[in-house]
Amino acid sequence: MTELKNLERELDRFRLRVLAAAAFVLIGFGLLTARMVYLQVVRHEELSTRAESNRIAVVPIVPNRGRIVDRNGVVLATNYTAYTLEITPSKIDDLEATITGLAEFIDIQPRDRRRFKRQLDESKSFESLPIRNRLTDEEVARFIAQRFRFPGVEIKARLFRNYPLGSVGSHLIGYIGRINQSEKAAMENWEDEAQANYRGTEYIGKLGLEQAYESQLHGTTGFEQIETSAGGRAVRRLASLPATPGNTLVLSIDIKLQALVEELFGDRRGALVAIDPRNGEVLAFVSKPTFDPNLFVDGIDVDNWRELNESIDKPLLNRALRGTYPPGSTFKPYMAMAALNAGKRAPNTIINDPGFFMFGGHRYGSPENERGGAMDMRRSIVESSNVYYYTLANEMGVDLIHEQLLPFGFGRKTGIDMEGEVTGLLPSTEWKRKAYKRPEQRKWYAGETISLGIGQGYNNFTMLQLSSAMATLSSGGQRFEPRLVREIEDLVTRERKGVASKAIEPLPLKPDQVSVVLQAMNGVTTGGTSAKVFAGAPYLSGGKTGTAQAVGIRQNEKYSAARLTEHLRDHSLYIAFAPLDQPRIALAVIVENAGWGSAAAAPIARRVFDYLLNNQYPSVEDIALTQKGQSVAPVGASRTVESVPLPSGPGNSAALGPVTAVAPVTGAASGASGAAPGTVSSQPANAAATPTTPGTAVTAASAPVAPRPVQAVARPAASGASR
């Protein structure tokens, strides 16, 4: 039977389907319209910015790092540009094969591979890393001819740090190195503006002034806006803001004096710090042995790093800043000043010195050559009587000694404009209670006070502290925080801003009491332990020799340098100031394991004074004798400072040419000078750093981070002589 369709029902179904389809279409169009409104209206600004950013790439322009010059304008740290061969690991499938292929026509040494691997471990895979630095023009040409074979490899122009004088002043200047992961993590806590200023920067100051004045030396990062194609290829430059180069640091240091002192040390270890007591400016800041910071420019190789890091002489240790030593008899003038200020001794108080001091059944000795006898305060300093200061320490007690000498800067940081300074140790009963855990160790014993009087026992100070204390005493109580940088020059405006040492509230010392101590120190140089060294000096000065034990000796045991290895022998110290009436220089010097203070340390101080006060440079013969610890008063025909050429070092770069001097800085110390005529080229002090092509990658130098050196601490002696 034929089934008849219900036409009306079919039409209803059709209409329902049409309505459903129409509703679906309307809903779809509604959704599209809503989405379009959302994107075009609600998120218009956000998406427009994102689209623009996809079209425009912002490329940072790293600034030229500022230069460092001495007080006379001699360049100590500068920059030069060179080509580097760089690899972006993320763009390469087989990194080892790529390096091997490059080595077929580019000289890539094993040390280059090791440095690249170390940097790869410390960096992100999308960063461009150098496999070879300072390519020659021939190597650049060879790579360009083969470039099609090596996607992800390119030539870049980079800015390298150079230290023209090599190892001279290396602990003072420091060096820069690649930013490591811990430093990157620390940067995340910086202000946004500071973080933005380091976009594109791969290197940062690691030690010395390079580290302390990083913000001044770095400069301000610029940028370029580049329009790019969909494939990321640069089409055109839309806008740019040039980088502002870092500022120039003008130091208070006279680098020729610095080099002379380093030469006078020879192969010996030690430190010297010279300060102008009138304003706190540091005139010389020496730590020996030194190192060549240029070794770190390309990333130091394993052999050189092992030699520096494992050497028994610890060349990476800044002894002037971080080495602490017992001051020996150089402590006696401060003990005398403390006794006068506290009313414990009068200048004419007589103490009998039989050559030893007995306390609690323990014998405290004196040097075998000490004459002894009746000692007043002047004679006790001139002849360096131990017994006088044993009895004085016993009378004062450790806490009064601490109270009187802490204001001179002992046992606390001086505030010098360099990072890493240590506090040293000026003991007290409170210190010992906090320093030790066991009850019997926390107790202060009266016998421990005795050795403090002659600068032994727990006393340990840096040469910076001793020099600063000498400046305070010689100026009658005037105090400053020592400063290494005297001016900062803006390379754009050519404006120089002085960096004055921070004045600290003066010590309320009585002039007549200060005069007693300073006149006694003058007696040391005219008839005392350093009289032979200062014989014939055309100026009056004051000083105090010291010999500090590096290891303790047993009771009644005699000291014999011949029986000890060189590193266990006594240290030679000297503190001094000059001229006597209006001091302009105060210094402290130590020659490690060199014995008597008058034999090794005092001759170096004499030649520093001759340089600054008499414009006198020692003869070659005299320098050789001083290096061996065999000199007293200068011998041979001395030279004028101007006649001696500037020091040179292995760090001179072909890109820089000869060592460059700039116009002298006004206000230089008496006797300071530039190079002899004809020895160096000259250029303005505010000459701009080497320019680079806009848009090229620019960095400073490649150097690993040196681990923080171990603090050198000479152990306090239980007892014994201090000369």
Using alpha carbons only, what angle is made at residue 145 by residues 141 and 148, rounded to the nearest 5 degrees?
135
Alpha-carbon gap, residue 384 to 368, rounded angstroms: 12
Instruction: Give the SS3 label for residue 391.
Output: helix
Alpha carbon separation from 394 to 169, 340, 344, 723 (Å, rounded): 42, 15, 11, 19
Catalytic pick among 123, 329, 366, 474: 329
- What is the sign of the dihedral through the CA atoms of 10, 15, 16 and 21? positive
Q: Which residues contact 473 (CB under 8 A, 6 or more apart)?
A: 333, 334, 337, 408, 514, 517, 518, 577
Taking the alpha carbons of 518, 520, 525, 526 in that order, is the dihedral positive or negative?
positive
Which of 275, 267, 276, 215 is CA-nearest to residue 246? 215
Copy the structure tokens of residue 217. 């030396």
Instruction: For residue 684, say if its preceding peptide bond is cis, omega within 30 degrees of 0.
Output: no
Which residue is associated with the tokens 């540091």?
282
Please, how many CA atoms are within 13 Å of residue 183, restricted to the half-sphere of its CB?
17
Interhelix angle 332-342/463-474, rounded to 10 degrees, is 50
Q: What is the spatial distance between Cα 467 and Cα 411, in angstroms, rounded to a whole number? A: 13
The answer to whether 329 and 544 are in contact (CB under 8 A) is yes
- Distances from the Cα of 287 to the Cαs of 72, 133, 594, 626, in angstroms? 21, 31, 15, 17
For 212, which DSSP code? H
Q: How far apart are CA 256 and CA 72, in angstroms?
A: 9
* DSSP per-residue codes, 330-367: GGHHHHHHHHHHHTS--TT--EEE-SEEEETTEEEE--
- Asked if 673 contacts 256 with a C-beta cutoff of 8 angstroms, the reply is yes
Whether the ω angle into residue 354 lies within 30 degrees of 0, i.e. cis, is no
The count of other CB atoms within 10 Å of the CB of residue 514 is 19
Q: Which helix (H) or strand (E) holds 471?
A: helix 463-474
Q: Is 329 a catalytic residue?
A: yes
Distance CA 542, CA 550 (A): 26
Name the maximum alpha-carbon separation found in the chain: 152
> 674 burial class (0-12, 13-18, 19+ CB within 10 angstroms)?
buried
> How far apart, in whole angstroms, are the C-alpha atoms of residue 269 and residue 712?
12
Measure the N-to-C terminal CA separation of the chain; round to a whole number of Å.
138
d(Cα 206, Cα 65) in Å, to the nearest integer? 14
Separation in Å, CA 695 to CA 9, 10, 227: 77, 74, 13
Three-state SS at 413: coil
CA dihedral 608, 612, 614, 616 (to 10 degrees): 60
Residue 532 φ then ψ, to 5°: -65, -35
Q: How far is CA 224 from CA 217, 229, 234, 381, in A?
A: 22, 16, 12, 68
For residue 257, the SS3 value is helix
Element (H, E) at 79: strand 75-87
Q: How far is CA 55 from the centre of its chain?
A: 45
Residues serving a catalytic function are 329
